[in-house]
Chain A
């Protein structure tokens, strides 16, 4: 290191680079200042030109444009004015204030702008000329407007007068025609008189003929025709007056045609006046003459200012005047346009000058910039040469420094190699360990004392439970969803590692099985110790799903075997049971009544147990418990029960098939029928006997119950014998199925509550084996009596009373106590077993008896046993067939 430092100190001497950079900097600064100065100069020059353009020339041109537009508008208006047809149309155009305003505004702006233009060399006189032109134009326009207004006013007056003349003319013509009508009537009447004279008198008076050939009638008619023609001609002349386009043509019409027409009409009217003397039309003619005089004055009288001719003449004069004014206006407008053009030319000159100035300034700026740039480049070249020398000496120093650095790195690398070797060895060991873990088929995880999962774990665990998160606790890993189980596990685990109690003791408190993704796992725990201290816990996890499945299958097979055994013994009984259970399952699912459901479940439990369907029976028990605790069942529960039942039935289907089609008839039953046939006994009797085959000996059903009872007793570790007495009674099994099902409850009660264990019995001096008697007998009035009697401990009435009182029920008389035994939901048992204890069975039995139109009674003596007695009516269907004892006796007689 010391050597290195010495070599570095030699590498000084870069002062020459500094000096060169300083020189370069000074040169650059000088160039920059010069360039900025030239830029300022150029910009100033350009700005000046720009200002001349935008501040003076452009506004002038804009204003000139506006002036042009205003003049154009004025032209247009004048054209419209001249072509206006009447006063109304003219009125909308007369207002010229808009155009005047435009012109004045434009002029005002120009007057403000022009002095500045003059400063920069424009002609002062052009502006004055323009001013004069505008004034002259406006004056001529005013004159034109006035002339036109006068003209149209006169025209309107003329039109009014023309209308009046027209109306008078029409009246005149009507009058003439009216007089003409009168004259024509005279003429026709005269003709008629001549005609009548010729037709009836052989000739007409000569005076009449003279009158219409050369007399006044003829003359008057002719004059009248001339008058009508002349009046019509007058109408035409009036029209001509209105159409006359010059004063000369008007004068011609007035002097010649109108005058001649007047003379003619006056003459004809005079003639008519002579002809019509004495006629009724004379009065009308006088009126007509007055009308004509007035009309004539209206048309031609030169003295009247309002006469048609005078008005027309004035109109024509004014029209001529207006044309002159219009022409003058056009000339003035031409002058105005000329003046504007002159100004525009001046403005254009100004603009050109300003642009030329700008170009000059820009050129100067360019030359100066180029000069400065060349100087700058030269200075840079000089400085660059100097810097290059300095850089090459710096490179030499750099190479030496690199060598020193390489030496240092070599030393470092040796150190790192040693460290890497050791690390690799450790990693290899860890990998080996992990390999061992991964190859295990059972899972393994380990957790520290704080429950945190340690990295060493087998691969299978990850496959089963998923990749754990970093620093996950073992309980959260095993129970990611179920918080309750997780916290229970945590409590156990804390105890396990606390070291207060022996590890093995605590281990037994830990969960040994866990369900995950429909698989079952067994858990085992092993402590890892260092010395005496537990440092971590290894948890071995084994997949036992398959094992459990196998166990379950075995159980089902065993159950099936047992069921089949029952089934083979009593096929019809089984079939009936199956049908009834089917109904019960439906009731459990479908009913809303909690009591009914409970009864159905209870009966299902009993029935299925009788035939060894333990899974169904257990499930029914579970559901019963649930119903009691929660007061309801979910839909799912019902469906599961149905599925379970269905599965069981499917397995047994082939054994149950045809059970219903078959009747079993014992030899002893067949023999009497044969005997009766041989002895040709009455047909009706034989029919009854054969019909009775469809009935079943009551003994068979009772024996079936007995077998169940024995089995139940066995299951409960009690030994019991069953006695059956049927007194030869046959019954329809279907009718009594419900009753026998209900008997099962009574039998269960008897076994569960009544029958003591063998030890108890011996202690109380009874025979070791208990006896259950099942009896049936016939009463008069088609009634059967069934009895179930046991010789067990009997009902503890004191206990029943206490229970009832605790629940606030009446329990004083023996009737009330009996009622309690039969009522729903009352049981003396504190615990519920799979056999009985729910207080449902007895009430179900009573319900069935009542349904069958019977009654039920109970007699129990403490220490001696209990007898239940059911009396039911024989169903109607069965009565005929069951009259067998008489037949039997008859056969016995014959046998004997």
Chain B
């Protein structure tokens, strides 16, 4: 009773000042959704990809009459991947633009700034393009809703695939990570997965690092090329350019191993960067291949320009769809609070990924799925089973 009252009072309070879908701009005005991302600078591919995906889905929905009878519009502000600019952007979106939610912000360092603001202003922060732990607290932050699997889940999937399916011994694994929180979260996820498999010496495995925002991979590579070790698979948690440089140099110096990257490496960029050296490089994805036959992917291919097809824009597309499905479940005039409450009630959300995704108070992440892919002849092929890589390993040895 008291809790209900509290919720009621809270809802009333927010109804009083917080713009719901209609308060600020009238019943027929579009639903305004905000985004702060890198649209300039080295990481611009991230922001542009997410925006293209989101806008494609919004256009797709608007063409069908919108959601709850209202059109969707995206207000995207550029933060050039600099956390210092993310804060002002978030405040501007919430206070001036009166957006209903913030959707698809890319990047971990920017997220560290965006999350406290979303919590303070009680504005949902949905589908950020990062698998970092700062968005995945236990219990979850009320206003943070994730779409994708975490980096830890990705590296855990790698360990599972490499050891259980491909049959490698744990001591045949090595790591190459960026020396920051991003690299740490991927590395820690893998170590935890190894320990779960019963391999207690996981920390002793070769671990090469490189400084963020540099291409100085040589020191790390020298660690991996050390004649005293012979790794068969390198688990890589880094950015596309340094990773590409490492793979190229390692192959050049004759390191015969499987290079396994997490999704944040941006598979398409890595592929471009490596060219012919990219053959057999593995990238785990948190969205299915854009050549998949899943309903949502078909929908995506029908809605987006062929030149904009990428894993990033596909994730933007699905994240946008997740938000819209949430809105549809939230009744005729949802407020932010009703939106979150509805999601937490666990109504299953069907995104067309072949399964439904119920959320709860303790679960704010829609998908746990990780799709491993491998570059074959310059294209990504989905790996149905890690043992498919055996042939490559054999060919090497």
Contact = CB atoms under 8 A, between A and B. Distances in A.
A174 B225 contact: no
B227 interface: yes
Interface stretch (B51-59, B163-171, B212-220, B312-320): B212-220
A184 B216 contact: no
Interface in A178-222: 178, 180-182, 184-185, 187-189, 191-192, 194-196
B221 interface: yes
A interface, by DSSP: helix, strand, loop or mixed? helix
Nearest to A191: B227
A185 B211 contact: no
A878 interface: no
A327 to B, nearest CB: 44
Given A177-B219, A181-B219, A181-B222, A189 B253 contact: yes
Contacts of B227: 188, 191-192, 194-196
B226 to A, nearest CB: 6
Given A185-B225, A188-B226, 12 more contacts: A178-B214, A181-B219, A184-B219, A184-B222, A185-B221, A185-B249, A188-B221, A188-B222, A191-B227, A192-B225, A192-B226, A192-B254
A187 B222 contact: yes
Contacts of A194: 227
B220 A181 contact: yes
B82 to A, nearest CB: 16
Contacts of A180: 219
A182 B253 contact: no
A857 B290 CA distance: 113
Nearest to B213: A174
Contacts of B226: 188, 191-192
Interface residues of A, number: 16
Given A174-B211, A188-B225, A181 B253 contact: no
A177 B225 CA distance: 18
A185 B214 CA distance: 16
16 contacts: A177-B211, A181-B216, A181-B221, A181-B222, A184-B222, A185-B218, A185-B222, A185-B249, A187-B222, A188-B221, A188-B227, A191-B227, A192-B226, A192-B254, A194-B227, A195-B227
Interface string A449-482: 0000000000000000000000000000000000
Interface in B235-259: 249, 253-254
Q: Please name the 3 residue pairs, one residue from A and one from B, whose CB atoms are nearest each other, closest first.
A: A181-B219, A195-B227, A181-B218
- Of B214, B226, B227, B254, the most chain A CB neighbours within 10 A belong to B227
Kindly name the residue among A181, A184, A187, A196 whose own CB sees the greatest number of chain B CB atoms within 10 A.
A181
Contacts of B211: 174, 177
Chain B contact surface mostly: loop
The number of chain B residues touching the other chain, given as a range, is 10 to 19
A182 B214 contact: no
Interface string B198-236: 000000000000010010111111110111000000000
B227 to A, nearest CB: 4
Contacts of B219: 177, 180-181, 184-185
B194 to A, nearest CB: 25
A189 B225 contact: yes
B230 to A, nearest CB: 10
A185 B223 CA distance: 8
Contacts of B222: 181, 184-185, 187-189
A178 B222 CA distance: 12
Nearest to B227: A195
B253 A174 contact: no
Nearest to B217: A181
Contacts of B253: 189, 192
Nearest to A196: B227
A537 B253 CA distance: 157
Contacts of A182: 218
A220 to B, nearest CB: 13
A182 B220 CA distance: 10
Nearest to A198: B227
A184 B224 CA distance: 12
Contacts of B220: 181
Contacts of B214: 174, 178
Nearest to B249: A185
B352 to A, nearest CB: 46
A177 B221 contact: no
A188 B214 CA distance: 21
Interface in A128-183: 174, 177-178, 180-182
A194 B214 CA distance: 30
A194 B226 CA distance: 12
